[in-house]
Structure 1
Amino acid sequence: MKLKLRNFITQEFVPRLVYQRRGDAAIECMDNRILNAVDLLRDNLRSLGYDNGFTINNWHINGNRQYCGLRTPESEDYSVTSQHTFGRALDVITKTPLEVVHLHIIDNPYIYSGIKFIEIDISWLHIDCRQNNDGSELKLWSPTRGFISVEQYRAELKKA
């Protein structure tokens, strides 16, 4: 069954070289769980009145982002253990406040069951579909605070 993305094209998920070699078949390098989750997330945020776009990779329109989906060794941010390396992570820029996006995901775990990890306290949206080794449905991690419980972060967001 062919994946049908409503809001994105293949180039937004893979670097230039991968797209040049594989064309639209390069989408096979990405995990369907994260593709479906980001497509659904954008649709749902639009329906809530937040249509500020999502930018993942923009190299195909002469932008400077090409490793925000699949990350290959050519990227200075490449890591053999990164979820990006396996096509399971996305870094998204949006004008929608990240607190709104995070709370929407946290409050709708059944809708976004493909999102298993969110990085917080950063200026972009990082989501991925890793298999959490402790069986957690969703983990939140901050580069400054470490792991934060969903309940604690939800309370922080609702206060803001």
Structure 2
Amino acid sequence: MTMREFYKPKHFLTRELVDKETFATFGESALMFFDVRLLKTIDGIREHFNKPITINNWHVGGPYDSRGLRRPADKTGADYSQHRFGRAVDFNVREMSADEVRKYIIAHQNEFPFNEICAMELDVSWVHIDFRNISHNGIYLFKG
């Protein structure tokens, strides 16, 4: 039996989406843990804003390592966070505040690449998007 290929993001390395331990264990195959809607959406957001986006940057000496997929042993966030299921990312867009990005996404939530986003966190200095199983009558906005 042959293994099916994973969707591979055009604008993000797998290292940017997982922590160091997950990448060391699974390498590029770690993409299998992600909801494809998330991967296609972050590619679309990168293309839409035409600006670099930072998710994890541990691989270049940066401080972020838990803003994509979170292992069960990771103490960051809630036990059942969407990050643990490959359905959430936290990110920043270069030269834009998180509030600017959120406002834009909310105003254009019925357009690609924003139309698959199910939930977004408010009042944080990063943009959290996730793809939880909820009715899709607009983006669910919540405070962590």
Shorter-chain TM range is 0.7 to 0.9
1:88-127 superposed matches below 5 A: 88-94=87-93, 95-108=95-108, 109-111=110-112, 112-127=114-129
- TM-score (normalised: structure 2): 0.85
1:74-153 superposed matches below 5 A: 74-94=73-93, 95-108=95-108, 109-111=110-112, 112-132=114-134, 134-143=135-144
Cα distance, 1:15–1:102 mapped onto 2, change above 3 Å: same
Aligned-partner residue type, residue 70 of structure 2: R
Q: Larger Rg: 1 or 2? A: 1
Q: Which runs of 4 or more aligned residues in structure 1 lie more than 6 Å from their structure 2 counterparts after TM superposition?
A: none
Matched, 1:28 2:32: yes
Per-residue CA distance 1:89-135 (angstroms, 9 max, x = gap): 00102331223312322232231222110111111000011111x55
1:5-16 superposed matches below 5 A: 5-16=9-20
Mapped to 2, the partners of 1:78 and 1:106 lie a distance apart of: 24
- TM-score (normalised: structure 1): 0.77
Mapped to 1, the partners of 2:49 and 2:77 lie a distance apart of: 30
Aligned residues: 137
SS in 2 for 1:101: helix
Percent of pairs with identical residues: 32
CA-based RMSD of the aligned residues comes to 1.7
Mapped to 1, the partners of 2:71 and 2:77 lie a distance apart of: 6
Mapped to 2, the partners of 1:2 and 1:29 lie a distance apart of: 10
